[in-house]
Amino acid sequence: MSTSDLTSAVGQIQQVAAARFLSKPLYIAAKLGIADLLAAGALPVEELARRTHTDPSALYRLMRCLSSVGIFREGEARLIELTPAARLLVSGEGSLRPMVLWLGDPRVDHIWENFLWCVQTGKTAVEKTHGKPIFEWLKEDAELAQIFNDAMSANAVIRYASVVGSYDFSGIKKLVDVGGGYGALMERILKATPGLRGAVYDQPEVVVGAARRMSAAGLADRCEAIGGDMFKDAPVADAHMASLVLHDWDDDRCVTILRNCHRACAPGGRFLIVEMVTPGPNEPSFAKMLDMQMLALAGGLERTEPEYAALLERAGYRLNRVVPTRGPVSVLEGVKR
Ligand code: SAH
């Protein structure tokens, strides 16, 4: 290996091994609400320290570190300002602050201490740490559950907008959102697609929220909220959709969901999988990183396009096309044979 190759290889290892030296400062900046304090304009670090009850010198070093990667900017005389990236940390709709607060939470770090066990056994590290699956554990910590839910909703706002802006739903008469939760995605699709009728299909206790949302949005006449079990059946429609549902389940469970929808539509009917698509070997991708969180915490997995195609195929659909969105997810369109 040449000296320059060696230097760059060393840099690569250092960067990955020390990723925490960036992720922790980012977490602390989000926790302290630094971006909110800067939303109205730049402030000297001393003022930021005063308002956040932190040590000025330590806070300066934290901001200097984050500014070195383009998150915040350090001007003359330790004046700190937002960058486009830091602007995403300002609280409000579409903010990434809740996601940063969830990913960096010390209670989540605690679970990662058992990541070796997780890799050795293929079970989630949550099980080793807390003896139960993630959602059971979250039920015991209301504050963390709130952080988790806020993170998922923040993420969803970005995802929904990108799906509605990229996939044309206008050819569909009736669309069922399987595992559609509180109906936020369906609401946006219906608003963007006049003439489309919808149904949100989810667990009975969850669809109550969807029914409420549709009424509030004046969409109750165009959208049903149907409680049930996607492993048993699916409402009849000409298209079914599952957004961030299949990545929670193993292949056999996914095929059961798909087959139930397949039975509930005519030939030519569609199944729309809304998921991140994991690219092939060696290609960098956030999906491959988030998949580590799925392994350690959630117990599901991120899949490649051929893997999704195989799931559709097993259930009697053919993968017709993959529609990328401006966001991290794609729409994989299956058509019933
Ligand atoms: N589609 C939403 C939510 C995904 S979370 C989004 O894109 O944000 C997964 C959803 O699957 C949850 O709403 C959960 O209640 C639902 N779910 C889990 N098990 C289910 C079952 N057996 N039948 C129907 N829905 C189920």
What string of H, E and C letters represents the secondary structure of the chain?
CCHHHHHHHHHHHHHHHCCHHHHHHHHHHHHHCHHHHHCCCCEEHHHHHHHHCCCHHHHHHHHHHHHCCCCCEECHHHEEECCHHHHCCCCCCCCCHHHHHHHCCHHHHHHHCCHHHHHHHCCCHHHHHHCCCHHHHHHCCHHHHHHHHHHHHHHHHHHHHHHHHHCCCCCCCEEEEECCCCCHHHHHHHHHCCCCEEEEEECHHHHHHHHHHHHHCCCCCCEEEEECCCCCCCCCCCEEEEECCHHHCCHHHHHHHHHHHHHCCCCCCEEEEEECCECCCCCCCHHHHHHHHHHHHHCCCCCEHHHHHHHHHHHCEEEEEEEECCCCCEEEEEEEC
Return the pLDDT at 327: 87
Give the atom of ligand 1 at the shortest distance from the alpha carbon of 160.
7
Are 285 and 278 in contact by the 8 Å Cβ rule? The answer is yes
Ligand 1: residue whose CA is nearest its atom 17: 179
Going from the Cα of 40 to the center of ligand 1, the distance in angstroms, rounded, reads 39
- Tell me how far the alpha carbon of residue 331 lies from the centroid of ligand 1, in angstroms: 17
What is this structure's pTM? 0.88
- Catalytically active residues are 247
Q: Is the CB of 230 under 6 A from ligand 1?
A: yes
**Whether the CB of 244 sits within 6 Å of ligand 1:** yes
What is the CA(302)–ligand 1 centre distance, in A?
16
pLDDT at site 275: 97
What is the model's pLDDT at position 105? Answer: 97
Q: How far apart are CA 246 and CA 275, in angstroms?
A: 8
Asked whether 162 lines ligand 1 (CB < 6 A), one says: no
Ligand 1 pocket, 235 CB below 6 A? no
d(CA 115, CA 72): 32
Label residues 283-311 b or e (16+ Cβ within 10 Å = b).
Answer: eeeebeebbebbbbbbbbbbbeeeebbbb
In tens digits, the chain (337 residues) has pLDDT values of 888 898 999 999 999 999 999 999 999 999 999 999 999 999 999 999 999 999 999 999 999 999 999 999 999 999 999 999 999 999 998 899 999 999 999 999 999 999 999 999 999 999 999 999 998 999 899 999 989 988 888 888 888 999 999 999 999 999 999 999 989 999 999 999 999 999 999 999 889 999 999 999 999 999 999 999 999 999 999 999 999 999 999 999 999 999 999 999 999 999 999 999 999 999 999 999 999 999 999 889 999 999 999 999 999 999 999 999 988 899 999 999 9
CA 242 to ligand 1: nearest atom:
1
Sheet with strand 43-44: strands edge to edge: 43-44, 79-81, 73-74
Ligand 1 centroid – CA 102 distance (Å)? 20
Tokens representing 270 are 């569609």
Tell me, rounded to whole angstroms, the distance of Cα 208 from its chain centroid. Answer: 23
